[in-house]
Amino acid sequence: QLAESGGGLVQPGGSLKLNCVASGFTLGYHAIGWFRQAPGLEREGVGCIRTADAGTYYVGSIKGRFTISGDRAKNTVYLQMNSLKPEDTAVYYCALGSRFACNGRGLRSGDFTTWGQGTQVTVSS
């Protein structure tokens, strides 16, 4: 299973680092995707990482502000979010897929089979 943490309230321009801890299995030839869902909107992809080679892919709207990284020793993937904007407010989810789910050609929620419970991020002054 996956468990997210690290969400909270932050002012515009601030930073947060989300954690996605995997338990019950070891991250290897997998992909971890980050997604978010704001109230009244559909879930959207943020980015992903292949845990074997640390290859990453980001959705265009967050490029340059968010960074995904992993620590295989801790079985954990991180989402570092900088220069946060009010429109980044959402519940953030991490999800597990095969390494082919993070191939640099888009991010599809249907390629990910196991999801965390989500963590709320609120960007507001």
The reported pLDDT for the residue numbered 63 is 79
Which two three-digit tokens encode residue 103? 């191939």
Contact between 31 and 100 (Cβ < 8 Å): yes
41-62 per-position pLDDT tens digit = 999 999 999 999 999 999 987 8
Q: Parallel, antiparallel, or unpaired: how do β-strands 66-71 and 76-81 relate?
A: antiparallel
Please provide the size of the chain in residues.
125
- Residue 76 half-sphere exposure, CB side, CA atoms within 13 Å? 15
Under DSSP, is residue 99 helix (H, G, I), strand (E, B) or coil?
helix
Chain centroid to Cα 114, Å, comes to 13
The reported pLDDT for the residue numbered 44 is 94
The reported pLDDT for the residue numbered 24 is 92
Contact between 121 and 81 (Cβ < 8 Å): yes
Lowest mean pLDDT among 40-44, 57-61, 63-67, 77-81: 57-61
